[in-house]
Structure 1
Amino acid sequence: MKRSLLYQPLYFLFWVLYFIAARTIFLLYHDNRTQELSQNDLWTIFTKGLRLDFSFSAYVSAIPFLAILATTLFPGLLVRKFIRLYTYSVLVLLSVLMVADLELYTYWGFRLDSTPMQYLNTPGEMAASAAGAPILLLSIIALATSLVFALLFRFTFDYKNYHLNFSKFTYAGIALLFSALLVLPMRGGWQQIPINQSVVYFSENPYANHAGLNMPWNLMDTMLKYNEETRNPYHYMDHEEAARKVAELYTATADSSEKILRVKRPNVLFIILESYTAKFIESLGGEPGVTPNLDQLASEGISFTKLYSSGDRSEKGMVALLSGYPVQTTTSIIKNPKKTEKLPHLSQVFKQAGYGTSYYYGGELEFANIRSYLQNGKYDRLIDKHDFPAESYNSKWGAHDHVLFERVLQDLNTEKQPFFSTVYTLSSHEPFEIPIPAKFKGDKTSDKFKNSVYYTDWALGQFIDQARQQTWWDSTLVVLVADHGHPLPYDDPNYRSTKFRIPFILTGGALAEKGHTIETIGSQTDIATTLLYQLDLPYQDFKWGRNLMAKSSYPFAFYVFRDGFTFITPGKVVSYDNIGKKPILKGKGVTREQLEYGKAYMQYSFEDFVRK
């Protein structure tokens, strides 16, 4: 007999071993794809996959851990028998799901998730899909896996093999501690961002990333999101009518767009500014003195003065900017790697054109599943918080912006040209901590926010001044745009257009036309198309974008907020509440036609998201 003190950690280990075995079986079953992986790929799959294995092992262990805690207080409970039956039942269930995942991946190309829920009303289709599966082989795998681990549990991990060697109150405290500690692996560690699928994404090969997933963790995660991602709650009109109206919005006029570059294949430096609201940008009518460097760049380059973010969250703005894809109201496509695999990516287009690609962020790329999205974009190199010294961090997010820009400058000086490099700042995100003295007085949150915007502008100005002295500057186009706006400093309501208005500036040595302002109304989803058109690169896959430098028969901007949308045309704004089924704001001159266009866009774009 062994002491009970060891039991909970060993029970947790039992499930970790099971999931390692399940990943091995997955790789062996898909041997034809596994053979394409290097030994380093295989090692990385297992090491990165451990974090999700630990997480789901903690979830599975929670009930036995609580049962042990209960029996220390109520000794009459048959906890040993309960844990044994529970473990055998979960083993069988997970092994059946494992073999279903093995075969479904062959046909679907993604790990088992909530997708089968869509077929519960059509069991005939489910049966037809399974008709060609090697049922006997899969049954043997499930039975053998269940039997091997049942025997392993019986002789090594069964609670009856352990005895209580403490007073019940002492052991109750120990059992409570072990139960509480499960929270740590559940969320993936002490880090600020809870664990998500991004932690296993490391390769340009989707199969390598998929192999690192813990299947039941992935299933649980997508089941929790099921209603958000599989049902379109917005049905204002027939699907065909919505499609027709959206097509009308993108009807192209004769393309009279002028070319603004003096270099055929310039480097592209795509800088995304965290929370940069137009309310702090003097050249856009905002408060003077907060962004003097950005204002100077706007006067020297081309400034789009009527651009709106597509959403109000960082991960949503990123997809709108880099994939030209509309934002969802109650969820975000970036949460689902299976869906983001189907999105176009600026990085992919540039890579196919011979560009080197890189992405720089001072924070954690696991935030909001960003890493999986970027990995699907096939960037050559991803730089994040862990590539910067800890002393450069603020208290919450990661490396300060001037440190980020220093690293970018250092790397670009040795980068193969042409390059497409994305840089994402973070210091102007709350808690608005900055490493330089505050420029503006005041301790209110709005004052701190203003100072953080000023600091990022200061860091940007230093970076641009040094970049101008580099050999690559004259052949570089710099794109400056915000990921989203901000309700501060005036606490704008969630739907207000002033919250969503952001800068979009083109500058750099590769720019031929300078000192222009463009007043065409647009959204973040239009930026990728506008950029690719200027570079004579294919933009047809970016179906939700328009070239903002060409004449449009119906200029508009569309953005969403929590369960609502706003549709803007020249001089007219309408905001609609999808819950109340009525406009929140209907500006002067807004027609019924404009509202119907907005509803059609909301319905059709969300339907496109659901179908991906």
Structure 2
Amino acid sequence: MKTIDYWVYLAFSAIKLFLFSLYTDTPFSFGFFLISLSSALLLSSWTLLIRARKRRWILLSLLALHSTLLISDVWYYRYFGDLLSVQLIPSMTQMNDVGGGFLSLIRWTDFLFFADFLLFLLFIFALKKSRTPAQKTNGKLAAVIATVGLLLFSAPLFMSIAKGERWLTGDATSNMREYYELGFWGYHGYDFGKGVVSIFRDPIPSEQDKVLLQKAAADISTVNKGEQPNIILVQLESLQTSVIGQKIGGEEVTPYLNTLKEEMLYFPSFHHQTHEGRTSDAEFVINSSLHPLRTGSVYTRFPDNTFAPLPEALKNGGYDTAAMHAYEASFWNRNTVYEHIGFSHFFSKKDYPDTEKIGMAINDEDFFTTSIEHMEKLKEPYFSFMVALSSHIPFEIPEDKKQLALPGYENELVRNYYHTVHYVDGAVEVLVEELKQRDMWDDSIVIFYGDHDSGLTEAGREMANKLDANGVTEQFELARQVPLWIKPPELTQGETVETVGGQIDVAPTIFELAGIDPGFMLGTSLLSDTERMVVFRDGSFRKGDVYFQPDLTTTPGTGECYSIESGEQIDGSACEPYIDEALDQLRVSDTVIEDNALEYIK
């Protein structure tokens, strides 16, 4: 057969796409196979215009490139639940934010993606030995294959447009929806095109987006209603709710944090709303009451755009504002972003002693005690935002700090996660006791919260198995719930507050406690009686007892509805009234961030 090398190439490409779906546990429908095959035909048909001997080596190179992109997407998907994008390029220098944790994502079977390279290489040598005469180019066949590819690729797109589906008009909530609609190569091609267009695009919101924005807009003035308390906001790295109250082998993982329920308001149904920016997303959501981007981090993609952030409003209301993070000031572009959103001071690595490191930076205990010294130099009232680091993935901790026995746990990364969290628990105790001894506790608003989960919550793995959290709702709670403690000034008795909320609600809560009117905020105060909806970047949401999990293989608005209490799937009518509201909230947030849209309502 004159073109057998080309057909073998297509067969290997199709097998690898199936392997990708298998490794990522994503659907592989016949329609998805056809759309992916069509883009492969379009991208490779030109090779038939080249003589066979050269073509075979080109096809071998294409297989290697395909495998490299596939395996990279698999690893990225396992951590972020999304695919790589060219818009992540500004964030690539920050990838050590994940660090050695990526090693936990790699499995030896992943390298089967490159098996076709070896097999095709053997195939080339076998063809050489057969002394097959050099063939002419196949122009007619190339044209037919390109035409078939174009028809297969275009037909579902025209059908989607005819139905008025919005996914291709900038309304998608996740890259995965475009992946299912366009196929593997179609997604990456479309993503590349969007990346190029974004360079030249004039960021002006559409009329429809302006209407949504005006509807969501609040009074953006800042009003100081009286004497203001100091505010201490502490972000704890990778702290998920499952560790609070957890015992392993009879030992409490977080003995001190467990007792904080007695003197602070504790919110067990609080959720992180981060996406690909992880820690930087948590900071952004907490301080802006907006959602993270669906691709990349606001800190690296839109650091100079206009928001109505918490630090700026507090600063305008008379507060001295300071951010504290004992790592490189330029990491995640914090030195630029912190100043832009209203922090008057930024204490970074250079402002902390060179003491024992745990993980990326000095240990949390020394970080907290030094941060208190910085706070004492601020003018009152002050807003202090501390970002801790000791429990950062890959959870490296000295042997003498490992105080838990952890019987039954074999995964070293999981064991070290519990060890670092146990250490952080003790560091928080030191912080609270220091604040009390220096009379900085009683009259202040003090808040602790987890920035995101551990990244070790995947169903079927050790942590999920031990916690019996492999069902849909159990997985949601394990991966999304992070603890939150709030101490208003002069609180005399702690309380567990069952209110459902998310990180987007923290800034409005602080404004209420401080007696300052918030600016443009999508969240609502956790101290109000409002039954809020907690929306996540992929369009999923929780409202009260219901949890909606969208079906990203089709158009927005479809998915499955669950009861958190029972863990069972329930009738979709319980979720249906809120689906468009969730999508609109994401759209408003994207418009504010990407189109600098607050300029249009100020």
Between the two proteins, the alignment pairs up a number of residues equal to: 375
Residue in structure 2 matching 1:565, options 539, 543, 560: 539
Indicate if the aligned counterparts of 1:308 and 1:559 stay in contact, CA closer than 8 A: no
Taking the TM superposition and a 5 Å limit, the aligned residue runs for 1:595-610 are 595-610=579-594
TM-score, L = length of structure 1 = 0.54
Letter aligned with residue 559 of structure 1: F
Residue in structure 2 matching 1:483, options 451, 454, 458: 451
SS at match of 1:357: strand
CA distance in 1, matches of 2:293, 2:587: 10
SS at match of 2:231: strand
Letter aligned with residue 533 of structure 1: E
Residue in structure 1 matching 2:273, options 296, 304, 310: 310
Change (3 A) 1:608 1:345: closer
CA distance in 2, matches of 1:526, 1:193: 25
What is the CA deviation profile of residues 18-47 of structure 1, one whole-angstrom value per residue up to 9, with x for unaligned ones?
A: xxxxxxxxxxxxxxxxxxxxxxxxxxxxxx
SS at match of 1:407: helix
Residue in structure 2 matching 1:351, options 310, 315, 325: 315
Equivalent residue number for residue 333 of structure 2:
369
What is the CA deviation profile of residues 365-411 of structure 1, one whole-angstrom value per residue up to 9, with x for unaligned ones?
A: 3222222110112322211223334443345x221211201201223
Equivalent residue number for residue 534 of structure 1:
513
SS at match of 1:565: coil
Indicate if the aligned counterparts of 1:274 and 1:429 stay in contact, CA closer than 8 A: yes
Change (3 A) 1:421 1:593: same
Q: What is the CA distance between 1:438 and its match in structure 2?
A: 3.4
Equivalent residue number for residue 242 of structure 2:
279
What is the CA deviation profile of residues 157-214 of structure 1, one whole-angstrom value per residue up to 9, with x for unaligned ones?
A: xxxxxxxxxxxxxxxxxxxxxxxxxxxxxx99x99689xxxxxxxxxxxxxxxxxxxx
1:581 aligns with 2:560: no
What is the CA deviation profile of residues 461-513 of structure 1, one whole-angstrom value per residue up to 9, with x for unaligned ones?
A: 112112211133332221111222234353579983431111121127x2335
What is the CA deviation profile of residues 488-545 of structure 1, one whole-angstrom value per residue up to 9, with x for unaligned ones?
A: 353579983431111121127x233532222222121111111111211121x13212
Indicate if the aligned counterparts of 2:270 and 2:503 stay in contact, CA closer than 8 A: yes
Q: Percent identity?
A: 19
SS at match of 1:474: coil
Q: What is the CA distance between 1:449 and its match in structure 2?
A: 0.8
Letter aligned with residue 447 of structure 1: R
SS at match of 1:421: strand
Runs of at least 5 residues in structure 2 that lack an aligned partner in the other structure: 1-91, 99-192, 220-225, 458-462, 563-569, 597-602
CA distance in 1, matches of 2:345, 2:261: 29
Change (3 A) 1:542 1:434: farther
Q: What is the CA distance between 1:437 and its match in structure 2?
A: 2.8
CA distance in 1, matches of 2:379, 2:591: 41
1:295 aligns with 2:258: yes
Letter aligned with residue 392 of structure 1: E
Indicate if the aligned counterparts of 1:361 and 1:385 stay in contact, CA closer than 8 A: yes
1:555 aligns with 2:539: no
1:507 aligns with 2:491: no
Taking the TM superposition and a 5 Å limit, the aligned residue runs for 1:513-528 are 514-528=493-507
Q: What is the CA distance between 1:585 and its match in structure 2?
A: 4.3
Indicate if the aligned counterparts of 1:347 and 1:378 stay in contact, CA closer than 8 A: yes
Letter aligned with residue 437 of structure 1: K
Change (3 A) 1:386 1:584: farther
Q: What is the CA distance between 1:421 and its match in structure 2?
A: 0.7
Equivalent residue number for residue 357 of structure 2:
393
Indicate if the aligned counterparts of 1:229 and 1:610 stay in contact, CA closer than 8 A: no
Q: RMSD between aligned alpha carbons?
A: 3.9
Residue in structure 1 matching 2:420, options 452, 472, 485: 452
CA distance in 1, matches of 2:281, 2:425: 23
Q: What is the CA distance between 1:432 and its match in structure 2?
A: 0.8
SS at match of 1:272: strand
CA distance in 1, matches of 2:508, 2:487: 17
Equivalent residue number for residue 380 of structure 1:
344
1:462 aligns with 2:430: yes
Taking the TM superposition and a 5 Å limit, the aligned residue runs for 1:112-151 are none
Indicate if the aligned counterparts of 1:298 and 1:507 stay in contact, CA closer than 8 A: no
Equivalent residue number for residue 17 of structure 2:
none
Change (3 A) 1:231 1:401: farther
CA distance in 2, matches of 1:229, 1:558: 31
Equivalent residue number for residue 70 of structure 2:
none
CA distance in 2, matches of 1:330, 1:481: 24
What is the CA deviation profile of residues 265-309 of structure 1, one whole-angstrom value per residue up to 9, with x for unaligned ones?
A: 21111101111111111299xx97122222211221112232111
CA distance in 1, matches of 2:202, 2:251: 45
Indicate if the aligned counterparts of 1:322 and 1:345 stay in contact, CA closer than 8 A: yes
Change (3 A) 1:524 1:288: farther
Q: What is the CA distance between 1:423 and its match in structure 2?
A: 0.7
Letter aligned with residue 490 of structure 2: L
CA distance in 2, matches of 1:332, 1:570: 29
CA distance in 2, matches of 1:507, 1:381: 24
SS at match of 2:437: coil
CA distance in 2, matches of 1:498, 1:610: 31
Change (3 A) 1:295 1:482: same
